[in-house]
A and B are shown apart, each in its own frame.
Chain A
């Protein structure tokens, strides 16, 4: 029993990080119905930007983190401006194809700039390891969980309580209508990409802090796929639930199924759950069931 609680707890913490990854995909999907496949590379770039501020420039963390995130946001906005904006009003499929291209392009850029080395990454946050007779939670995953949920809440607050959030929700529903009422949809879309890349960077820094950072670290970004497919591509609450489900499943699979000899099952489990959910609910648990009239 203690074992189970421990496993679920660990899964929940990492699940919160996955939820944040899911959120990044969901906000973009809601706005332009495009799936951002380059999420992993955004994660790596965001982490490296923070790396520059914190490790290369030796800034204190409370300056380095905002600066790094700001840089990540600017890069996100810039990428949107150069590659996505020209496609405004076109088929979302073409935007999705662009993100596939971005994936490989950014991958190559990262390798050119930072090479294929592994960069050690240690944030030295205050030690908040939680240790009782029953549980033992390491400090880093707890911090990761805290930062992720805080970022998640901030984004939700921004979306539902501010003027720009309202504009974002309006643009997300219909770009043309928003434009007709004087909302600058192009600018709003850029803001959305900036927010998304900032969140990805937060997740990236947290994940890098578990071990190290390398050009190949981006692969973890693909976890966002089962997260949003389970939760629903256009549901913010779904991203949270999906993230937690994936985190917990992974953790359970690692603790109970892998020891039975199925090494590597941990990485497959999320897709397993995803398939089951999609069989029962094709739009995900919380996705809007769309009625399309032909």
Chain B
């Protein structure tokens, strides 16, 4: 449903971050994107969500298509309204000075129907931990609660596609597990999910397919289970090289090869 074609994005007219990245999101799947820090994953999601202009970035080449229609000229509000695409930014994009209730209401700002109240209750049923905190400022909630809230807010926008940017950032393993369980549940309920993660193992385990991004390009892609078995992925992203570790020299050469691929 969503396809990114040979996309090139620069910040401040000079910093080239995405260098011709291409990928495809299929309806109903959980697509996992992994890559080192600074690979351009966040930039990619910002661009798809129509927010790159806010960060003084420009698309200088390529295209983003939704069901074969280009969306690269649309702004974030339009993309959300027309295609039900919601981007959950990294680092818990909640409003610290608003209460949990107000956060959920604020996220429903773009809607004008009269079901906002019932949807709010539904979201709170999804995340029961938030219920007792409803009237507390979100800034005082724990990291896990804040991330749940962020996803709850995204649900208030009635998404068909969710772009999640490192939702497990800074969460304890147990909470991460719970969160990924919820993400899988959301996917089962019909939401297509694009999941950017550092926690490659957990992400690939709930994903259908995956892409490995480096220096603003896709260097590897395949079924999630395949990627989990792939030796290079294990070496660089799962931190578990096969039996004998490769020497640093080999690793460097490998990386260089990938960059010019």
Binding site for B on A (CB under 8 A): 88-90, 163, 166-167, 169-170, 173-184
Contacts and interface: CB of A to CB of B under 8 A. Distances in A.
A181 B54 contact: no
Contact of A173 (B77, B89, B96): B96
Given A166-B98, A167-B109, A181 B157 contact: yes
A175 B54 contact: yes
Interface in B90-111: 93-98, 102, 105-107, 109-110
A166 B153 CA distance: 14
Nearest to B55: A89
B49 interface: yes
Contacts of A177: 89, 93-95
B88 interface: yes
B204 interface: no
Contacts of A184: 77
A167 B51 contact: no
Contact of A182 (B81, B88, B93, B96): B81
Contact of A180 (B81, B87, B98): B87
Contact of A181 (B55, B96, B153): B153
Nearest to A88: B54
A180 B76 contact: yes
A88 B105 CA distance: 24
30 contacts: A89-B53, A89-B56, A90-B56, A166-B102, A166-B106, A169-B95, A169-B97, A169-B98, A170-B95, A173-B98, A174-B95, A176-B51, A176-B54, A176-B55, A177-B89, A179-B54, A179-B77, A180-B51, A180-B76, A180-B93, A181-B86, A181-B93, A181-B106, A181-B110, A181-B153, A181-B156, A182-B80, A182-B110, A182-B157, A183-B106
Interface of B: 49, 51, 53-56, 76-77, 80-81, 86-89, 93-98, 102, 105-107, 109-110, 153-154, 156-157
A88 B55 CA distance: 9
Contacts of A183: 77, 106, 109-110
A181 B76 CA distance: 9
A135 to B, nearest CB: 41
**Majority secondary structure, A binding face:** helix
Contacts of B54: 88-89, 175-176, 179
In order of increasing CB-CB distance, the 8 nearest A-B pairs are A182-B110, A170-B106, A177-B93, A182-B80, A181-B107, A89-B54, A183-B109, A173-B95
Nearest to A169: B98
Nearest to B50: A179
Contacts of A181: 86, 93, 106-107, 109-110, 153-154, 156-157
A166 B105 contact: yes
A179 B93 CA distance: 11
Contacts of A90: 56
Contacts of B105: 163, 166
A259 to B, nearest CB: 46
Nearest to A89: B54
A184 B56 CA distance: 17
A90 B76 CA distance: 18
Contacts of B51: 176, 179-180
A163 B56 CA distance: 29
Nearest to B153: A181
Which of the listed residues B76, B80, B102 has the most CB atoms from chain A within 10 Å of its own CB?
A: B76
A179 B81 CA distance: 12
Given A88-B54, A166-B109, A176-B89, A182 B98 contact: no
A167 B54 CA distance: 18
Contacts of A166: 98, 102, 105-106, 109
A41 to B, nearest CB: 29
A210 to B, nearest CB: 37
Contacts of A179: 51, 54, 76-77
Contacts of B77: 179, 182-184
A102 to B, nearest CB: 23
A140 B105 CA distance: 42
A163 B106 CA distance: 8
A68 B251 CA distance: 71
B56 to A, nearest CB: 7
Contacts of B156: 181
Given A89-B53, A166-B109, A180-B89, 13 more contacts: A166-B102, A167-B106, A174-B95, A175-B54, A177-B89, A179-B54, A180-B86, A180-B87, A180-B93, A181-B153, A182-B157, A183-B106, A184-B77
B45 to A, nearest CB: 10
Contacts of A170: 95, 98, 106, 109
A179 B95 CA distance: 12
A182 B109 CA distance: 7
Contact of B107 (A163, A173, A175, A182): A182
Contacts of A175: 54
A173 B95 CA distance: 7
Contacts of A176: 51, 54-55, 89, 93
Contact of B97 (A88, A167, A173, A178): A173
